[in-house]
Amino acid sequence: MSLRVAILISGSGSNMVALARSMQGDHPARPCLVLSNRPDAGGLARASEMGIPTAVVDHRPFGANRAAFEGALQEALAAARPDLIALAGFMRILGPDFVGAHAGRMLNIHPSLLPKYRGLDTHARAIAAGDSEAGCTVHEVTPALDDGPILGQARVPVLPEDTPETLAARVLPMEHRLYPLVLRRVAMGDKTPITLP
């Protein structure tokens, strides 16, 4: 019986596509839902084209009522019965009650070499700091932002002429390699961290 993986997105869903494509053949997991907080997320159409059920819980009607929004997220997720949850370009901060309900079963990919550069604008911050390398991290989601146990990291060089855009373009393909590798390993019950290259 395959593990059921729900993938949460807010945008283009390129990481979602990489994860979904990896869950085939002898892979122990299969995607069971792609859920977005944005009705216009491009990843929803990509998921549908791949035959993956989709759902939308638009955060905007809930305003500042995070608890109500997360309650609606929980309902949408419960219907899909996920064993694992993968945040993939999901741009809402999730509160401790939501995170606690999925402790140890929720992953996120963040575009920096954590613990450096939690939060936003990671590539601009790495360039401004004069870092020689940057990258991405897959970690378990805990109540603290971008702070859970690291499950994998991928490193890329920062080049002198890099802009945040050129650096992001170098990191993103590594995200698409790293996240599926980590998900497969976690689905097999192994949380030993992976390092690329």
Binding site for ligand GRF (CB under 6 A): 9, 11-16, 88-89, 109, 111, 136, 172, 175
56, β-bridge pairs: 36
Alpha-carbon distance of 29 to 1, in angstroms, equals 9
Nearer CB in complex with ligand GRF: 82/111: 111
* Enzyme catalytic residues: 110
Choose between 11 and 71: whose C-beta lies nearer to ligand GRF.
11
Nearest distance from residue 148's CB to ligand GRF, in Å?
14
Q: Least separation, in Å, of the C-beta of 189 and ligand GRF?
A: 25
Is 9 or 194 the residue whose CB approaches ligand GRF more closely?
9
Q: Which residue is nearest to ligand GRF (CB)?
A: 89
CB of 141 to ligand GRF, least distance (A): 12
Measured from the CB atom, is 32 or 114 closer to ligand GRF?
114
Q: How far is the CB of 144 from ligand GRF (least distance, A)?
A: 17
